[in-house]
Structure 1
Amino acid sequence: MHRVVVLALDGVYPFELSIPVRIFGTAEDPDGKPLYEVVTCSLDGGPVSTSADFAITVPHGAEALRTADTVVIPPFACGPDGLLDWLPDDLAAALALLPAQARIVSICTASYVLAAAGLLDGRRATTHWTEAAHFQRTFPQIEVDADVLFVDDGQVLTAAGVGAGVDLCLHLVRRDHGSEIANRVARLCVVPPWREGGQAQYIDRPLPEPATASTAATRVWALEQLHRPLPLAELAEHARMSVRTFCRRFGEEVGMPPGQWLTQRRVDRARRLLETTDLPVDQVAAEAGFGTAVSLRQHLTGTVGVSPTAYRTAFRTRAAA
């Protein structure tokens, strides 16, 4: 069983602390067998203060990190500004216990811990949008992407904020065991299996004028038309807007251009078909609107780093197991 160890540090935010056990602890195989074991530890095995008006007790000390397949670090309040740009000795010693092959995940501003430990050097990462500029100034050796909900850089993963921690944990369940299991976890937790767009939806930026119209209906309609080309002019016509107005409104509401959103949705459709059907790759490409297997291969490789055949081998087998 895959072991997830959650490291609770003094000042931990209680909601984020509970995300891993809620998501990973809900994941079961088709026979009802748990797929993850989730344990919580502190640096010394003692009680941990929280950002709220209560403390918590945990059953393990830092030695639990030696047994981790995945480590999750929730955010915590520390120092006058709540951020950490250096590692205290006890935290550095704890991180040194991690197995070389362990995945390590930060939620929200816990990315500062990974950055201070050098685990993000030369990597792409994210953090909460309010701290992204400070994070980049503090750690210029990291490629900071403030527009996404999370970054999966293989062994090291970072989530942008509270809800993005849920998104990232669901992503890991999907990566480990396929969409069917991840979607069931999402349904049981009453959260969406994935969210469209990135942090741009939540950044507090003044708008030039109120968004009196919405692109939501056109997005719903487009999802039903993914099997065919969808020119920008046709999308704008469906929304009863000019192309310029549609693009502006779409960006405000979704956080990305219409073409990028369509490509992501096509990739999502293709991934689901590869995971849940035995359709030939050519037909999957057609159903998802990529037209050819070559185009599907290019987009899937660019998104998840593997070909359609390799993706199906990994996730179709696991989902059916």
Structure 2
Amino acid sequence: MTPPVRPVRVAPATYLLDAHLFGTPGALSAYVLDAERPVLVDAGTADSVDRFAEALDRLAIAPADVAAVLVTHVHLDHAGGAGALADHCENATVYVHERGVGYLTDPERLARLRESVDAATGRTDPYGVPQPIPEDRVVAVSGGETLDCGDHTLEFVDAPGHAPHHYAVFDETTDALFAIDSAGQFFEERLYPTTPPPSFDLDANVETCERLRALEPSLNLYGHFGPGGDDAVGELERYADLLTEWVEAVETLAGVHGDVTAIVEALDGRWQSPTVERDVAGVLAARDAGST
């Protein structure tokens, strides 16, 4: 049985929600900003919407009071629940990167996105069945916009690399940065690369880290998983270096080994994240496309 939702405070008025990806605790995090105009950061999977509803209830936030759902990128572990959350939070505006809006509003493009996920994972709808978001509920952002939440001001920051349709969110009131997947994965006090196919771009991701570092955040909030350490600026710098080293390691091994499984087996332990096979595949896809 899935354990009850217990939102965890990670910054002023900011709560972590464990979305229990594939029933696994500590795998996928989203966030609730309990501002005067409350905000959800990321929408989780289509199967995790009930956990969001329970989190809002535990925080005594009425669904009708939620002002915004911020979909940081359209990968379905982060965006699959957006349509259902728009129904549940009937007054919320859904903010999506301009490069990703069509994937979540156009039923045909959403269906193709589901098919690509099925092909990549070998499973049917591993993140549940997402529903399209009505176009009149969506605002497209490209970076540089701000969102007034009453007692908090959020800035949207273009953050490609992990995906071209990724943005980060900087809370100008607390200096917390919702980096999500644009700045890596953080498990057990360690950074790991997150470089999925089909659109990982090393140069863009390194530039994103530089752009985020310039904000001088006090805390990085990751999608996998939770808050980072005390040196948020240093984490961003280390991640840029880590990405470069990671890509070099994979490409070197690819010259010796013929497939993803063999490359993964040859990697040393520090690279062995929960998504290592997918991330090797992303580096190889970027190499073949000429973007590493």
TM-score (norm: length of structure 2): 0.30
Higher strand content, 1 or 2: 2
Higher helix content, 1 or 2: 1
TM-score (norm: length of structure 1): 0.28
